[in-house]
Structure 1
Amino acid sequence: MAQTRVQRVADPGRIAWRKTYSDGGRRRRIAVLRWVARRLGANSLLAPIPLSPELACRTEQAMIRRLATLGARVPQILEIGDRELLLSDLGATLAETCRREPDPARRRDLVSQGLDALHDLHRRGGYLSQAFARNLTIDAQGIGFIDLEEDPATMMSLAAAQARDVLFYAHSTARFLTDLPGEHARLLSAHLGRESDETRREVSRTAGKLAWLAPLARPFGARARAVGEALRSLRTATA
């Protein structure tokens, strides 16, 4: 998979980000992840085939343009090179904003806004590359989507790609609501009620196949516990 490096560019009157694509070194890890996903029958977790820097750059351009056509808030492409893009700024990431927010109720509202944005995108037929909270942005204009160098639909159905969004978002936001027991699951349950039947079934099927991992995550670090919390939320939401 192509690796990316993002550098902040401050010009008079604007902030932009120069994103450079280079050859990555995670092919063996991705091959293992693909094998595990296939063994579990979790199609929505299949990692896309690694791309060259040039193809990753072109994929991000295509994803940005496709989502923009659907009315999603994505970066404006300011400059294009074979292995780099200059992209407009969309504000702080949702993950950063949640980490800085001391009020649990406000964090709940932030996570809910991200789910609303995913719902709006999905009902228009869209999907993201990796819907982690670090790849969503938020400012006065609302939620935006960044880091779009993968196209999951090259490997899976639309329903699976949208289920992947829900699964990744759940994984990356569970830790922000641990001081509001049960609230993460309630938000996910309400969101899944708005998804298509096929997407909802895909999320439920994958959550069921991964449920056995939740108790195993307790003794390990914060990241592992976050995975466990997300899996418990998903199982509750899809029960």
Structure 2
Amino acid sequence: MAATRVQRESWQGQVAWRKTYAEGGRRRRVAALRWVARRLGANALLAPMPLSPELACRTEQAMINRLAALGAHVPPLLAVADRELLLGDLGPTLAVACRAEADAGKRRELVQLGLDALASLHASGGYLSQAFARNMTLRDGRIGFIDLEEDPCTMMSLPAAQARDVLFYAHSTARFLSGQPGEHARLLQAHLAREAPEVRREVARTASRLAWLAPLAKPFGRRSRDVAEALASLARATA
């Protein structure tokens, strides 16, 4: 992705976000990640190469318009420039909502809301840029999608892009259910039953190729433990 900067503004008395695109994508890091994904045969993890600011801006516009046409909840485009978008506000992120929720049962419901939104989007033929919980919003029980400046289908098939959504979402939500052993895997397993067979196969293939990383990642910091928990959930969900 191109480097981006987001600033909160007021637009006609409502909250809006000015998103500015600049040079600065981490090309060497992305190239390394792409090499690893290819070596592992994990097509769904192929990272799109960083785009120019103008192309990233146009890509986000196209993704927003495409998802809106499918009925997805995305930010309205309030103003458009070559390297800048003014976007409507969809509320706090799902990640923020999960972190703030002390009740374990309600956290589970929040994670389920995100899975339901992905299932609906995928059933209509859609996919996201990076389906992390921080790139989903929640307001009045409705999930929205933000940060759409890359298009995975420029690098992979639709089933792989949708599998990528499941993998990224699993990675970003496992920690919210860490106190409920097996629950995250059960949610993922139920979700995969709603996905197309090609998506299920892509998720299972990637989870299998990455399973060896889980015990290696577990002893390290929080981010590594998050990866380990997500991989363990995916292994159980696809067994």
Match of 1:10 in 2: 10
Match of 1:22 in 2: 22
Match of 2:69 in 1: 69
Q: Give the direction of change, closer, same or farther, for the CA distance of 1:195–1:217 in structure 2 (3 Å limit).
A: same
Quick check: 2:8–2:15 contact (8 Å CA) kept in 1? yes
- 1:145-182 residue CA offsets vs partner (Å, 9 max, x unmatched): 00000000000000000000000000000000011111
Match of 2:169 in 1: 169
- Cα distance in 2 for partners of 1:116, 1:18 equals 29
**TM-score, normalized by length of structure 1?**
0.99
- Cα distance in 2 for partners of 1:55, 1:25 equals 12
- Cα distance in 1 for partners of 2:196, 2:112 equals 18
Q: C-alpha displacement at 1:11, in angstroms?
A: 3.8
Provide the secondary structure at the position in 1 that maps to 2:224.
helix
User: Counterparts of 1:1-239 in structure 2 under 5 Å?
Assistant: 1-11=1-11, 13-140=13-140, 142-239=142-239
Q: C-alpha displacement at 1:10, in angstroms?
A: 2.2
The residue type paired with residue 131 of structure 2 is A
- 1:105-134 residue CA offsets vs partner (Å, 9 max, x unmatched): 000000000000000000000000000000
Quick check: 2:25–2:50 contact (8 Å CA) kept in 1? no
- Cα distance in 2 for partners of 1:222, 1:167 equals 18
Provide the secondary structure at the position in 2 that maps to 1:125.
coil
- Cα distance in 1 for partners of 2:214, 2:10 equals 43
- 1:59-94 residue CA offsets vs partner (Å, 9 max, x unmatched): 000000000000000000000011000000000000
- Cα distance in 1 for partners of 2:229, 2:180 equals 12
**TM-score, normalized by length of structure 2?**
0.99
Provide the secondary structure at the position in 1 that maps to 2:130.
coil
- Cα distance in 1 for partners of 2:58, 2:7 equals 19
The residue type paired with residue 183 of structure 1 is E
Q: C-alpha displacement at 1:25, in angstroms?
A: 4.2
Aligned residue-pair number: 239
Provide the secondary structure at the position in 1 that maps to 2:211.
helix
Identity %: 73
Structure 1 stretches of 4+ moved >4 Å = none
Q: C-alpha displacement at 1:50, in angstroms?
A: 1.5
Q: C-alpha displacement at 1:24, in angstroms?
A: 1.1
- Name structure 1 gaps, 5 residues minimum: none
RMSD of aligned Cα (Å): 0.8
The residue type paired with residue 37 of structure 1 is A
The residue type paired with residue 45 of structure 1 is L
Q: C-alpha displacement at 1:141, in angstroms?
A: 5.3
The residue type paired with residue 176 of structure 2 is F
- Cα distance in 1 for partners of 2:25, 2:232 equals 32
